[in-house]
Amino acid sequence: MVENKIFAVADVGGTKILLLLVDQDRNVYLRRKLPTPPGAAPELVAKTINEALSRALQDKEMERSGLAGLGVCIAALLDFEEGVIYEAPNLDWHEPIPFRKLLQEYCSCPVYLENDANAAVLGEVTYGAAQGHRDAAYITISTGIGGGLYLDGKIYRGSGGFAGEIGHIKRFGKGRRCGCGGEDCLEAWASGEGIARSARSLWDEGDPSSGPLNTAAVFDLAAAGNPLARSIIEQAIDDIGTGLANLVTLLNPSCLVIGGGVARNRPGLLEKIRDKINRKAVAPAVNISRVEVVPARLEPDAGAWGMFAMMCAGE
């Protein structure tokens, strides 16, 4: 760990960017949110991060030369070693982008670029709900569905850096296009947007009794006893449970951390997912070695703390 240094972290989403300045003892000097630029061209996003960082350092009367590192996490398929983003559906980036190089043009300190779910699993293992586990997975159920793997005591990225994309396992439902370019991914049916799409395909949004058919509305209707809404939610739970049971069967983790806006503050949902996993995974993985299924503890900052942990460790 570098002594007496400040680390900068940026968590880039489709609509907002979270910026943190943190010292080596996890003291947060600054926390700021800013909108992701409309159109979100890679060069513009890199410039926005740089300008926000410059303002933050100026506000805190700090010099850029004092930065020990900049860590950026983003919902994207990327090569950690090369710093190249290959696919970022939420930003509509579908061509290879040397994003770390774009950031490095503004910074003399080391720049780290990581998938947001990979960063989140490291954050939860280091400081959150999965502390003490050497084999864990983080799953975010939000607008989309993402996953990060921590196996044998380290982030598992796969041969090209694309491991853990549980939201894009097949096949769930029929004929629904996904943001990744494929069809019938788990994400297309069981994410927040997938649940809303199912509702819109079955309801007339012009019907004043249904109201706006977003994810929260579907959950509210289901809780009120609406049979159609309940069937949509139950199908999503079954799909998620099946996907995670397959993950448990394949990788035998000791902990699954569930995060994301859809799962947050819905303990009943988590309990149903846990039950599906216990019933569908291969029996020894849940009856002998056991698997904890727990809510995320660090949200919405799990990814940011994972980047901080990564920079402190100098990975």
User: Rounded CA gap, 148 and 157, in Å?
Assistant: 8
Q: Are 128 and 302 in contact (CB under 8 A)?
A: yes
Tokens of residue 119, six digits: 């960063």
Polymer length in residues for the chain: 315
Nearest alpha-carbon partner for 13 in 103, 75, 83: 75
What sign does the dihedral 220-225-231-234 (CA atoms) show? positive
The pLDDT mean for the chain works out to 91
Q: Kindly list the structural domains of the chain, giving each domain's residue range(s) and its CATH number in brackets, ordered by start.
A: 6-115+301-313 (3.30.420.40), 129-295 (3.30.420.40)
Tell me the whole-structure pTM to 2 decimals: 0.91
Which DSSP state fits 36? P
- pLDDT above 70 as % of the chain: 95
- State residue 205's pLDDT score: 57
- State residue 184's pLDDT score: 80
If residue 32 lies in a helix (H) or strand (E), which one and from where to where?
A: strand 28-35
Judge whether residue 232 has pLDDT over 80.
yes
Judge whether residue 210 has pLDDT over 70.
no
Count CA atoms within 13 Å of residue 6 on its CB side.
Answer: 19
Residue type, 53: L
- State residue 219's pLDDT score: 93
If residue 140 lies in a helix (H) or strand (E), which one and from where to where?
A: strand 136-141
Q: Are 157 and 151 in contact (CB under 8 A)?
A: no
pLDDT interval class at 5 (50, 70, 90): confident
- State residue 185's pLDDT score: 86
Which DSSP state fits 168? G
Lowest model confidence (mean pLDDT) among 85-99, 101-115, 173-187: 173-187
Which residue, chain included where needed, has tokens 């947007």? 193
| More confident position, 99 or 65 | 99
- State residue 285's pLDDT score: 93
- Residue 282 neighbours by CB distance under 10 Å: 13
Judge whether residue 246 has pLDDT over 60.
yes
Judge whether residue 2 has pLDDT over 50.
no
- Residue 98 neighbours by CB distance under 10 Å: 15
Q: Are 113 and 74 in contact (CB under 8 A)?
A: yes
Judge whether residue 77 has pLDDT over 60.
yes
What pLDDT, in 10s, does the model give residues 139-164? 999 988 999 999 999 999 999 889 99
What pLDDT, in 10s, does the model give residues 276-314? 999 999 999 999 999 999 999 999 999 999 999 999 998
User: Rounded CA gap, 272 and 257, in Å?
Assistant: 15
| More confident position, 183 or 117 | 117
Q: Are 165 and 146 in contact (CB under 8 A)?
A: yes
Judge whether residue 168 has pLDDT over 60.
yes
